[in-house]
Amino acid sequence: MTDLAGRPEFRVIDTGVRDGCLQIAFDQALVELRKAGDIPDTVRFLRFPPTALVGRHQDLSRELKLDHCRKAGIGIVRRITGGGAIYLDEGQLGWELVCDRRKIGVATLADMTARICRAAAVGLSTLGIAAEYRPPTDIVVDGQKICGTGGYFDDDIVMYQGTTLVDLDLPAMMAAINVAAPKEGAPPPPRVTTLRALLPDADLSMPRLQAALVAGFETGLGIACTVSEPSEAEEALAQRICDAEIGTADFIAGIDDPGADGSVRHGESGPVNAWLRVEGRRNDRVREVLFTGDFVMVPPRLVMDLEGSLRGAPSGEVADRVSAFFAESPPQIATAPPDAFAGAVAAAFAGA
């Protein structure tokens, strides 16, 4: 649908502060219902109680201080997308768009990222800061990151989300997440700031921030937004997804300390870790491999497909198989190159 000016109409919903697993399940519910044509194009705002989230491919125990999280009542959640571990609480405002990509005129993930991030930056700048898009996925003010983003396509449906730092409880974050020391030769981590640090005397209420972002999306994406409420169908589907998958121990702890029993070899290359079981008289074949780490692969199922494609591979053929796999099934976006996956397996073989 379009408004009188011919702009695509989006509804705006706010799911407030709710359990982290349910918020993640709501993402999946929105995508499924939008693909089916059961809901309109949507902007959603969301917030979390104190929650530690790991990426889809991360090792739970390696990334989080689990004992502290459990004792402190911090939610432990696994995302359906890749990337690194993060800590969220009520001081950070999540936002996302779920829509038909044709409504915002984008063909590629890179185009989508740039257009949505620039629109969000326009909205944030109305608060009295000079926000701008910094490729590949950040929104910054004077070079300091104020918002991280990420997204993917599911057929023609866009799911794109960001987290704007309003306040940041740094001690709580450090207590919940294992922050690795920078590796030698690695670039320094990006500098981070918050809206509170930049605008200490400003009105940073959530309604004002949401209004600013909506105005940015309307201007930057050429859409018209109307405030609405989540539907009963969305709430019910999100709860079913949470109960059946996202909120289950099997999903959350599905990757947790894979080398614990001592029979698995470990190798690392860049952001990718390979956990390898071997077979053959010379232990030179892949019996099975699990890839973990702080990387993004869209669609996420490609990582599992890659793991399956390497079963039975001789050590000397792994690199060629990895290259052939990504040539046949190129990802929409990948923050780890094919040689990182091959290199991690090679390191696991060499570390015997």
Q: What is the DSSP string of 34-83?
A: HHTTSS--EEEEEE-SSEEEE-TT--HHHHB-HHHHHHHT-EEEE-SS-S
Burial code (b: 16+ CB inside 10 Å, e: under 16) for 75-84 equals: bbbbbbbbbb
> Two tokens at 203?
């009105």
pLDDT of residue 260: 78
Cβ proximity of 343 and 320 under 8 Å: no
Cβ proximity of 131 and 139 under 8 Å: yes
pLDDT of residue 352: 55
pLDDT of residue 151: 86
Q: How far is CA 266 from the centre of its chain?
A: 25
Residue 157 CA to residue 153 CA, distance in Å, equals 6
Give the residue carrying structure tokens 């780490």. Answer: 293
Residue 33 CA to residue 31 CA, distance in Å, equals 6
> Two tokens at 46?
């969301």
Residue 150 CA to residue 21 CA, distance in Å, equals 18
pLDDT of residue 183: 57
Task: Tell me the pTM.
Answer: 0.87
Please enumerate in sequence order all residues whose Cβ is within 8 A of that of 54, keeping only pairs 6 or more positions apart, or say none.
60, 63, 64, 77, 78, 79, 85
Residues of the chain with pLDDT under 70: 180-190, 352
Sign for the pseudo-dihedral over CA of 239, 240, 246, 250: positive
Cβ proximity of 13 and 228 under 8 Å: yes
pLDDT of residue 332: 80
Residue 56 CA to residue 195 CA, distance in Å, equals 28
DSSP 257: -
DSSP 191: P
Beta pairing, strands 9-17 & 224-227: parallel
